[in-house]
Amino acid sequence: MFNCLTRATKGWLIVTLLLLSMPFSLVAIADTHEIEIKRMKFRTPELSIKAGDTVIWKNIEYRQYHSVWFESLGEPEPIDYIFPGDSYSRTFEQPGRFPYRCGPHPKMTGVIHVAE
């Protein structure tokens, strides 16, 4: 198929194909991180992630419900609690520092640090 093309044309064809494939090879793969909620604590109170990553909070308590509230962002207190065996997830698209706390238990706190 390529036998009829000149050497220069083949070179440009290869360069074009390489350039077209670059955007797909530069796509970053987002990670997922887990934070366990146990014994009235977030079991990774400070977590550093990359923009685009997702954090999943898993309640592994036996009886106690919790929430993940980003109060400093002006969000209302969540009314959907995370009951034992349940989880809550959030994807962080923007870099920054995101403190959070448990609505019903204000001494339970954590921070997500999101890098670019």
Domain ranges of the chain: 32-115
| pLDDT score, position 96 | 97
pTM assigned to the model = 0.75
pLDDT digits (tens, 9 = 90+) for 8-29: 555 565 655 555 555 554 556 8
| pLDDT score, position 66 | 97
**Range of lowest pLDDT (15-19, 29-33, 75-79, 86-90):** 15-19
Using a pLDDT cut of 70, give the percent of the chain over it: 76
- Architecture category of domain 32-115 in CATH: Sandwich (2.60)
**Is the model's pLDDT at 82 over the cut of 90?**
yes
In which region does residue 70 sit, left (phi positive, over 0), alpha (psi from -120 to 50) or beta (all else)?
beta
CA distance 77 to 109: 14
The three-class DSSP label of residue 87 is strand
**Is the model's pLDDT at 69 over the cut of 90?**
yes
**Mean pLDDT score, 85-113:** 97
